[in-house]
Structure 1
Amino acid sequence: MSGPGSTAPRQFAFTTRAHVAVDDATGEPIGLDDVDTRMRWLLDLIAAAGTELTARLWQPVTFDVLTAGRDRAGRRLPAQGHVAAARLGWNPHYPDGIYVPSRVTRVVTAQVLATLRTLAYRDAAIAALSERFDPVTGTLAPPTEPGDSVPLGFARGVRRQLIARSRRTDGAQSARLRITDVQGPPRVAAMARLSAADRQLAQITAAGRELVLRVKLPTCPAPAGRAQWRRVRLTAAIPAHLHGRAITDWHLPALVLDRKGLLWRCAATELVPDCNPGSATVAVGVDWSPSTLGAAAITTENSDGLSSDYRGFTYDDRGLGVKLARLQAEGQLLHRKAARLTRLAATADPEVRARLEAKIAVLDGHREAVGAKRGKINRELGFHFGRQVADYAAAAGAQVIAVEDLATLETRGHGRVNNNRAAQSARRQAAAALTHTAAGVGIAVVVVPARGSSAQCPGCDEPLTRPGGYHTAWCQGCRVGGNRDHIAGVNLAKRALLGKGNVTRRRGQMPAVRVAEHAPVRKSRDKISPTPPRPRHRRVRHSLPTVTRRLGVTPKQHVPAPRASVWDTVKPAPPHGDAGSRDRRTSPINTTPVADSMRST
């Protein structure tokens, strides 16, 4: 039931760490380092079993079964991965003499089936693209069937895989390839997704502002029986930003180990205001910009039609974009160095190879550290962007936020460096953060087509001109223009308002408007867009402070710092109170003898 004041459940994720660990049976405290060791034993068992099962199932028949979604008896496969694996008989194998509970096996099969189901789409796409691939020219023929179309970025990646395989096989290639012919089985992550288990393995409860997790962990690297699996009770604090929220259920977390120890990746269900884009009259369009993460503009629908003031809000990333670009260049440099040393080590002597492999290990460690830092900055950037746009939409009284469809958005035409930088920006993470933040204030986020949003006029749908360069747009007929990204935001908001009655919803995806309709958007003389808040900087006093002189005390002289120079360390200091001025300059010191004396020493 939907209406004003109604609520709807939604799931969200967060992370936390345990600060107390005790043995559940005896109540004796356990050190967190011991918990990390026992958790590493569990993750090693899960990763080894998952790798073995993935390698055994890496066959075309596996993907045929997953694509069909039917078992041997023709029944539909259940959505739960561990139930589908049990019905198909896909069970992992463990070394002899090692006892693993059946609930741990559920965790392994659930993780493997989730990975294989994701790769089933790639297998179908590779099979379709390989039939249109010419190994001589290395090009793909145009698709003949409507269902054979795939995103251009995805097609380019598959094309590179097909070219690499044709080089390895000297051009000998069959008409139809599968994913097992192009690439090897993926690496299984060392992660324990406890959501696939039941209370016999793990259970979680909330007590006040703390979460209590009871989970079975092995007491040795190779447990031989049930007695070597003991239950541990872990206590973690609920993050402060979740206090006071209408959370109805806490879900079992996924456990991983990072450089700080055991990390909980938790999920919870809460009640948020119901978001219904069908009754929206004010929309905010968010355009993904190559210069910044995004820009927003507002379009309003009333009895006279659509209107906008063509003023927008440009997101300020506070310098994080420059930092990300620097880290990206550093990571690419480390990757090139490691790749070159790997090629040299392949033909080097054993002693030289050992030294090169040590250097490669150091470079890989640095590259992982750079990647982790980029991930943290991207997450901070995405949620800061989501909060800024959500506040902007709430201040404007908007009911829906329209974002570009990232599946059809491709960065090109800006040079190799800028294209790569824009392609690796955290747009999808920012869209997810915007969806999460906007839902908390009752604003829906929908996906609209991106084609032509910054190239066509919102009023007459004619191509725009660029009188001031790439970042400007102007329509001679409608006499409207401004920032290119703001014009695109008006177009996106218009498409959301015109298609609000034809919103499609798919499981696991954002609501989407598939067809871009047109209606003229007139320019409003009134100010519609709210003025975004600007950070206020502390006022700097450039004048000298007024100090009352004390009798009998020599006042301090405020001497400005000398100009920076490479000769600052050898120049004689000026006398006290005489630092020179713009009206009277001291005679310059000849630096040649000083430089000669420094070279002689």
Structure 2
Amino acid sequence: MTGSGSAVPRQFSFTTRAYMAVDDATGEPIGLDDVDTRVRWLLDLIAAAGGELVSRLWRPATFDVLAAGRDRQDRRLPAQGHVAAARLGWDPHYPDGAYVPSRVTRVVTAQVMATLRTLTYRDTAITALSQRFDPATGRLTAPTEPGDYVPSGFARGVRRQLAARARRDGGAPAGRVRITDLQGPPQTSAMARLSAADRQLAQITAADRELVLTVKLPTSPAPAGRAQWRRVRLTAAIPAHLCGRPVIDWHLPTLVLDRKGLLWRCAATELVPAGDLDSAAVAVGVDWSPSTLGAAATVADSPDGLVSDYRGFTYDDRGIGIKLARLQAEGQLLHAKAARLTRLAATAPPEVRAQLQAKIAVLDAHRTAVGIKRGRINRELAFHFARQVTDYAANAHAQVIAVEDLTTLETRGHGRVNNNRAAQSARRKAVAALAHTAAGVGIAVVSVPARGSSARCPGCDEPLARPGGYHTAWCPDCRVGGDRDHLAGVNLAKRALLGRNKAARRRGQLPAIRVAEHAPIRRCRDKTGPTPSRPRHRRVRRSLPTAPRRLGVTPKPHVPAPQASVWDTVQPAPPHGDAGSRDTRTSQAPATPVADSPRST
């Protein structure tokens, strides 16, 4: 266990774009449009080969081998995807006459193996659930073994698939049901994960606030030989908010194409302060609220026991949640209209069907644009929330932040619309953003059980009364109460402090406390929590117009300007679009100083 004051490595991601490209052999400049074309040829080769390999391997025997983790000689399969595929003899096929380097084959097999290994868990769960499915009632029986447990949302989706298959087949499914019986092979994304290759295909260096990527790209859609693969040296600026940070390694990026051209999805490793969960004395509990994204409260472990001032912090999104709800309703409306036109087009004459299909394409494009906008707003909202909670915890000198376990948190009882709205909120993004932001200042984030956090008193663990409705809580015995979200934050922080020495750590996941213990929390009259800072927003003019009223004319009612939104406190992204990092930026200087340069030379 690392002690206080030590540093540990952690990875983070960001995006950037190249502003200059040259031929590595001759040094001649290459237009960025030409680079986009050559990258598209590379991605087409990778996507076609990956899709063909997935379709060829989409059979139950593939998932049996991956579930066992053994090859033909009963040796354990290595963790590297391309090495495991080569040992199993799973090689992709390319068009006749096309020459593709072996390092590109590594990229293809690594991406395919990552997809198949992820679906192996789903195949095993579907097989177990199919044995507990009753086609007569359409229900799943209760699991008998602890290993048969799966998340409730996943079980509901599989149950619907099994019920649809039973109706289609006219009876109970025969034998074991596999993932290949319920769905077809997944589509492969057009991307190139260069991290699966070595220096023969790509290498990256960092110097003078620039990243230089040297990668082999084809010079034709179907390269016929080694000479039609040439090295290109791409130069991109390191985002300004990453300059000066203790980055110890820059990793090879993943290349994708979007509407702006070539995009690098990069990763780097930096040193951050080590969080010491075992010796935590002050904790902050974060409760997910249906009215706002979250609320927080602090609990301290003193010699006299656990104390709290019961004064919480409520995150204010400044109306962004209402905007997200409007976009969600708009996306659902577009989906319903497209589904209705699809049903009409199925029985329409050919000339009418063509018109309906054109309208459906427009609706799908609009729905995709709405989804992209929602994702962008959710991301900014999550990291703004993470920065606010991290500052609150740092001001309280907390060593740990406790969040509710999202796998056991399911919205229900608020109606179909509100349940759907809460289910599609940015909670999981907020957890990832909070863990990333808090790790930068040495604060650990753990997940604790969510059941009963807002229903029981932190002092006596008895059910709370609701004298003022849903959002208020009061304990007549302990005589404490207030906002139910703040009391829930106190309970979550208490569970983190009591179970800090029993946290389960799994790779790739937050430390988790499985059991909710109870200890009375004494109300402290002294102020132990920090006062949340209120960012200064733009001044809003609320005075009435001074122009004289015209007789005989009904004046236009004066509507004051709306309040400043959260976007005034989040610094804007650089104009070149290379600020894709999940960190809060500390400078408004553009990340790419030559963003106005022409794309072609």
Normalization by structure 1: what TM-score?
A: 0.90
Question: Structure 1 CA distance, aligned partners of 2:56 and 2:214?
Answer: 33
Is the deviation greater in 136-145 or in 438-447? 136-145
Q: How does 1:234-383 map to 2 (within 5 A)?
A: 234-383=234-383
Amino acid of the residue matched to residue 272 of structure 1?
Answer: V
Question: Structure 2 CA distance, aligned partners of 1:174 and 1:471?
Answer: 51
Question: Structure 2 CA distance, aligned partners of 1:35 and 1:302?
Answer: 62
Amino acid of the residue matched to residue 88 of structure 1?
Answer: L
Amino acid of the residue matched to residue 162 of structure 1?
Answer: L
Work out the percentage of aligned pairs sharing the same amino acid.
Answer: 80
Distance of aligned partners of 1:19 and 1:468 in 2 relative to their CA distance in 1, 3 Å threshold: same
Distance of aligned partners of 1:458 and 1:105 in 2 relative to their CA distance in 1, 3 Å threshold: same
Question: Structure 2 CA distance, aligned partners of 1:242 and 1:456?
Answer: 44
What secondary structure does 2:535 align onto? coil
Report the CA distance between 1:514 and its aligned residue.
Answer: 1.3
Q: How does 1:15-26 map to 2 (within 5 A)?
A: 15-26=15-26
* Cα pair 2:458 2:487 within 8 Å, conserved: yes
Equivalent in the alignment of 2:576 = none
Question: Structure 2 CA distance, aligned partners of 1:203 and 1:417?
Answer: 49
Q: How does 1:399-418 map to 2 (within 5 A)?
A: 399-418=399-418
Question: Structure 1 CA distance, aligned partners of 2:360 and 2:541?
Answer: 52
Equivalent in the alignment of 1:501 = 501
What secondary structure does 2:250 align onto? strand
Equivalent in the alignment of 2:548 = 559
What secondary structure does 1:388 align onto? helix
Question: Structure 2 CA distance, aligned partners of 1:532 and 1:144?
Answer: 48
Q: Deviations over 1:459-497 (max 9, x none)?
A: 111111211111111112111111111111111101110
What RMSD in Å do the two structures reach over aligned CA positions?
A: 1.7
Question: Structure 1 CA distance, aligned partners of 2:105 and 2:346?
Answer: 39
Report the CA distance between 1:544 and its aligned residue.
Answer: 9.2
Structure 2: unaligned runs, 5 residues or longer? 558-601
What secondary structure does 2:500 align onto? coil
Q: Deviations over 1:159-209 (max 9, x none)?
A: 111122222222341252111111111111111111001001110000111
Question: Structure 2 CA distance, aligned partners of 1:130 and 1:451?
Answer: 29
Report the CA distance between 1:541 and its aligned residue.
Answer: 6.8
Question: Structure 1 CA distance, aligned partners of 2:400 and 2:489?
Answer: 13
* Cα pair 1:130 1:175 within 8 Å, conserved: no
Question: Structure 2 CA distance, aligned partners of 1:425 and 1:544?
Answer: 38
Distance of aligned partners of 1:436 and 1:560 in 2 relative to their CA distance in 1, 3 Å threshold: farther
What secondary structure does 2:459 align onto? coil
Equivalent in the alignment of 2:33 = 33
Structure 1: unaligned runs, 5 residues or longer? 546-556, 567-601
Amino acid of the residue matched to residue 79 of structure 1?
Answer: A
Distance of aligned partners of 1:505 and 1:543 in 2 relative to their CA distance in 1, 3 Å threshold: closer
What secondary structure does 2:407 align onto? coil
Amino acid of the residue matched to residue 114 of structure 1?
Answer: A
Equivalent in the alignment of 2:475 = 475
Report the CA distance between 1:537 and its aligned residue.
Answer: 4.6
Question: Structure 1 CA distance, aligned partners of 2:168 and 2:125?
Answer: 21
Q: Deviations over 1:10-62 (max 9, x none)?
A: 00000111111111111111111111111111111111111111111111111
* Cα pair 1:132 1:140 within 8 Å, conserved: yes
The count of corresponding residues between Structure 1 and Structure 2 is 555
Question: Structure 2 CA distance, aligned partners of 1:564 and 1:361?
Answer: 45
Distance of aligned partners of 1:28 and 1:503 in 2 relative to their CA distance in 1, 3 Å threshold: same
Question: Structure 2 CA distance, aligned partners of 1:169 and 1:498?
Answer: 53
Equivalent in the alignment of 1:98 = 98
Answer yes or no: is 1:10 the counterpart of 2:24.
no
Is the deviation greater in 263-272 or in 122-131? 122-131
Answer yes or no: is 1:216 the counterpart of 2:216.
yes
What secondary structure does 1:76 align onto? coil
What secondary structure does 2:13 align onto? strand
* Cα pair 1:283 1:398 within 8 Å, conserved: yes
Is the deviation greater in 381-390 or in 362-371? 362-371
Q: How does 1:172-191 map to 2 (within 5 A)?
A: 172-191=172-191
Question: Structure 1 CA distance, aligned partners of 2:94 and 2:312?
Answer: 59
Q: Which has the higher contact order (CA 8 A, sep 6+)?
A: 2
Q: Deviations over 1:98-133 (max 9, x none)?
A: 111111111111111111111111111111111111
Equivalent in the alignment of 2:449 = 449
Amino acid of the residue matched to residue 478 of structure 1?
Answer: C
Amino acid of the residue matched to residue 498 of structure 2?
Answer: L
* Cα pair 2:256 2:262 within 8 Å, conserved: yes
* Cα pair 1:273 1:442 within 8 Å, conserved: yes
Q: Deviations over 1:431-477 (max 9, x none)?
A: 11101100111101011111111111111111112111111111121
Distance of aligned partners of 1:538 and 1:108 in 2 relative to their CA distance in 1, 3 Å threshold: closer
Bigger Rg, which one: 1
What secondary structure does 1:501 align onto? helix
Distance of aligned partners of 1:349 and 1:205 in 2 relative to their CA distance in 1, 3 Å threshold: same
Report the CA distance between 1:419 and its aligned residue.
Answer: 0.7
Is the deviation greater in 162-171 or in 456-465? 162-171
* Cα pair 1:111 1:193 within 8 Å, conserved: yes
Question: Structure 1 CA distance, aligned partners of 2:425 and 2:72?
Answer: 44
Q: How does 1:2-151 map to 2 (within 5 A)?
A: 2-151=2-151
